[in-house]
């Protein structure tokens, strides 16, 4: 066996054993919500793929003050949010579709990532971002997913090739909160795996 062929599996082993940090951002102020459940399922799938995870859910996001570019003061929650995203190897964002776009709650949190502007790895550069949208109808699902991906691009992140869209007019979760639609479970798992796989490939 040549030296070159020995080196490849060693590199693969190092990458596959790396446990990236995946930060989940999203949900609504109502717990449980479809968006919150979807994000938690995606993070569980990320953990099954070998990642560490951290969740900023809707109630947490609701405590973030409105972002103001001219105001340099930061609350404890704002500092915690920015620092954890700074540490992240990947991100999963889940938003409801409100009137064809991303919710104000989620957008306000993403706007706060302006604080990462002067980092060496600024904004979401070098990080895969999984996109999840829940909305009452496929039209809003599609427009909101496009809007969310545009925001991720503006933040220099890499939207995963696959984005999950959940039509809330259909039966998705049972009374216990378990996902009752295997197609939805598959979508959320694909998003999570793509974030984890990219984080490992990007890891040096």
Backbone angles phi, psi at 153, to 5 degrees: -60, -45
Reported pTM: 0.90
The two three-digit tokens of residue 127, written as one number: 């990080």
Please report whether residue 180 resides in a domain.
yes
Within the chain, which residues score under 50 in pLDDT?
A: 1-11, 13
Query: CA 47 to CA 39: how far, in whole Å?
Result: 12
**Which pLDDT score, from 0 to 100, does residue 204 have?**
60
**Which pLDDT score, from 0 to 100, does residue 14 have?**
60
Give the DSSP H/E element, type plus range, for residue 70.
none
Please report whether residue 10 resides in a domain.
no
**Which pLDDT score, from 0 to 100, does residue 175 have?**
74
Please write the tens of the pLDDT for every residue from 139-198: 999 999 999 999 999 999 999 999 999 998 888 887 777 888 889 999 999 999 999 999
Please report whether residue 7 resides in a domain.
no
- Size of the chain in residues: 204
Please report whether residue 9 resides in a domain.
no
Please report whether residue 1 resides in a domain.
no
Please report whether residue 11 resides in a domain.
no
């Amino acid at each position: 066996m040549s030296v070159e062929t020995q080196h490849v599996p060693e590199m693969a082993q190092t990458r596959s054993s790396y446990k990236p940090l995946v930060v989940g951002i999203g949900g609504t102020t109502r717990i449980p919500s479809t968006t919150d459940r979807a994000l938690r399922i995606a993070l569980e799938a990320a953990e099954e793929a070998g990642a560490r995870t951290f969740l900023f859910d809707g109630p947490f996001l609701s405590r973030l003050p409105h972002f103001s570019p001219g105001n340099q003061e930061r609350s404890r929650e704002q500092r915690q949010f920015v620092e954890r995203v700074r540490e992240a190897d990947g991100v999963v964002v889940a938003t409801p579709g409100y009137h064809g776009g991303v919710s104000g709650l989620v957008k306000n949190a993403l706007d706060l990532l302006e604080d990462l502007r002067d980092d060496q790895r600024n904004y979401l550069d070098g990080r895969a971002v999984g996109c999840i949208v829940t909305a009452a109808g496929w039209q809003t699902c599609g427009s909101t997913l496009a809007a969310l991906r545009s925001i991720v691009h503006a933040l220099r992140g890499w939207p995963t090739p696959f984005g999950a869209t959940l039509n809330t007019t259909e039966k998705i979760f049972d009374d216990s909160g378990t996902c009752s639609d295997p197609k939805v479970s598959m979508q959320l798992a694909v998003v999570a795996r793509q974030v984890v796989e990219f984080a490992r490939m990007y890891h040096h």
